[in-house]
Amino acid sequence: MLELGYTPGTVRGMLKVLGQLGRWMAGEGVKPGQLEMAALEAFLVARRARGDRRPASMGELRQLVAYLQEAGVMLPVQAPVLSAVEVLLGEYRRWMVADRGLAAMTVLRYDTLARRFLTARVSPTDELGVADLDGSVVARFLLGECGRVCLGSAKGKVAELRSLLRFLHVRGYTPRSLAESVPGVAGWRETTIPPSMPQADIERLLESCDRATLDGARDHAMLMLLARLGLRSVEIARLQLEDIDWRAGDLLVRGKARRDDRLPIPDDVGAALAAYLAVRGRQDSRSVFLTLRAPRRPIRADLVGDVVQRHCRQAGVPHVGPHRLRHTLATEMLAAGAALSEISQVLRHSDLATTAIYAKVDLGRLRQVTQYAAVLLARNPGPMTLDGTNTWLLGDIDRTVVVDPGPDDAEHLDAVAASGPIQWILLTHGHSDHSAGARRLHELTGAPVRAMDPAHRYGEEGLAEGDAVDAGGVTVRVLATPGHTSDSLSFIADAGEHRAVLTGDTILGRGTTVVAHPDGVLADYLDSLRRLRDLGDLTLLPGHGPELPSAAAAALQYLAHRAERLDQVRAAVERLEPDASARQIVEDVYADVDRAVWPAAELSVRAQLDYFRTQR
């Protein structure tokens, strides 16, 4: 017990209880090897009857029980006989850990829903609850689950149920996969600005730790990992001594979905870790962070949240969760000029679209994306505009090309005009969320507005395939990319080693775009995507959403999505009446999409139906 971290006083108390237990066993005729849990409970009842002022509880005796079982004095607890569905759930839990690499709390959540789904279906003729499963059964269960939870939790239920159904098919319990029959939950993602906290409050959190004590040194090291490196709670809990490479100055972060990354250790983080480990001393466990009370064991992820809450109280700052420090790190990096791709690398996001939530922090603030490209986010978020319209500024401080001034918003346009001498204003297409502010910006700066559509030109000729303008060390060439609209253009910005393509609404930084039939034509749109694919790994600067690292990769994803949608619409046409309306097809194919974008989806469906007719 001393090796487990118990104090000498606690050990003496436990030895006293052990002596009392031995005398009770002798008096009751209980021989070594015959002691059971029921007898141990009877011993505790007898001690209370004798008037012990503070008899030990069963919880306090758990280490004694473990020792007695190991020594053969106490019979091991017999494992209960498991039902068939419990055996199946055990197999499911092992599959989630071994095959999918899910975290313990995720496994617990997925197991809870699976237990509810299967046990409700168990019957004398179906001991596993998997017989006669079909899409209608799945949909009814999901509707019942979603009716009692919020939108975010409902989306979680979809993922949990799909995981179970995928497992049942992979392991042969169902003849076909029903995961695809789980309907999606419509909802506009990432509608809020990510919350952060003032840097002064973070410093007060760190200063509230008494680093001369074991608990203070441990808590300070945890808070430093949260605030300086943006680690998740579970990543802190998983940290092992061998993960820290002191010579190389980095540490291994064991992240979500078995993703491992090495991050450099800032000097102050390294000093905090070293100070904690010096106070912690040598322990049997290889985990970096251990509990303070005996038995000393690795911490659980939720303890990190308890540490943050405790120090919020001590520092006198508003209570926050550990993830708030991660958000704060990202917003501070953004304010310092870091690109979203760099923030994504630090936070270890598997998809840049996840990092896109931080783009909303840039409302009204110019953000440098590449050496010759900066963006100003307009204040017009919505289902079709995502976080808002990206107004791009290309060039240097002496001469600038503005691409898509955005909506007619005085505050936004004043900020664009104040960014530097503007030589040209270019439009990717004529939709109002890109072009409505062009006239006012022209009046503010005197810069001519060039566009393919004459209705949107001010003081200059139009734009066509192959045209080029020069400003501030950047040559901007026009690439005709019709499809979203008939006047859609992309611009290749060439600054020598730094090249990028601005795609307007032809490719977005997140999600997919609409083919605005009848002005937009799907065949033209597919050809435009192929042209963008052939540009290779140019940085893609979209009209909405975050920048993307590769135009080719984005175009290939869009082409695959369009092929999938064409197959779905074709199947819907065959499934529904021959004269089914575009709206009926939308309701069938786009059931998992936010209804707010159904009118736009209807335009795309009309474009796809027209595509089928022209391709015959």
Inter-residue contact 344 to 354 (CB < 8 Å):
yes
- Do 405 and 498 lie in one domain? The reply is yes
Tally of domains within the chain = 5
Last residue of a domain, one of 181, 207, 230: 181
Give the integer Cα–Cα distance in Å for 332 and 166. 40
Pair of tokens at residue 296: 């000393």
- Do 237 and 164 lie in one domain? The reply is no
- Do 216 and 321 lie in one domain? The reply is yes
Q: Is residue 39 a part of any domain in this protein?
A: yes
Give the model's pLDDT for residue 156.
83
Last residue of a domain, one of 506, 524, 550: 550
- Do 476 and 527 lie in one domain? The reply is yes
Q: Is residue 260 a part of any domain in this protein?
A: yes
Give the model's pLDDT for residue 75.
67
CATH number of the domain bearing residue 504: 3.60.15.10
CATH number of the domain bearing residue 223: 1.10.443.10
- Do 317 and 239 lie in one domain? The reply is yes
Give the residues of the chain that fall short of pLDDT 50.
Answer: 188, 191
- Do 173 and 208 lie in one domain? The reply is no
Q: At what angle do helices 301-315 and 322-335 cross, to 10 degrees?
A: 70
**Domain residue limits at 45:** 8-71
Give the model's pLDDT for residue 352.
66
Give the model's pLDDT for residue 187.
53
User: What are the residue numbers of the active site?
Assistant: 232, 256, 323, 326, 349, 358
Count other C-beta atoms under 10 Å from residue 165's C-beta: 24
Q: Is residue 64 a part of any domain in this protein?
A: yes
- Do 564 and 546 lie in one domain? The reply is no
Q: Is residue 392 a part of any domain in this protein?
A: yes
Give the model's pLDDT for residue 51.
78
DSSP 8-class letter at 83? P
Q: Is residue 321 a part of any domain in this protein?
A: yes
Long-range CB contact pairs, 410-413, < 8 A, 24+: 410/440, 411/364, 411/379, 412/364, 412/376, 412/378, 412/379, 412/437, 413/437, 413/440, 413/441, 413/444
Letter string b/e over residues 176-198, b meaning 16 or more CB atoms within 10 A of that residue's CB: eebbebbeebbeeebeebbebbe
Q: Is residue 426 a part of any domain in this protein?
A: yes
Q: Is residue 24 a part of any domain in this protein?
A: yes
- Do 594 and 486 lie in one domain? The reply is no
Give the integer Cα–Cα distance in Å for 317 and 305. 15
Give the model's pLDDT for residue 143.
79
- Do 546 and 575 lie in one domain? The reply is no
- Do 48 and 138 lie in one domain? The reply is no
Give first-to-last CA distance, the chain, whole Å.
81
- pTM of the predicted model, to two decimals? 0.56
Inter-residue contact 449 to 438 (CB < 8 Å):
yes
- Do 417 and 514 lie in one domain? The reply is yes
Inter-residue contact 393 to 420 (CB < 8 Å):
yes
- Do 422 and 546 lie in one domain? The reply is yes
Q: Is residue 539 a part of any domain in this protein?
A: yes
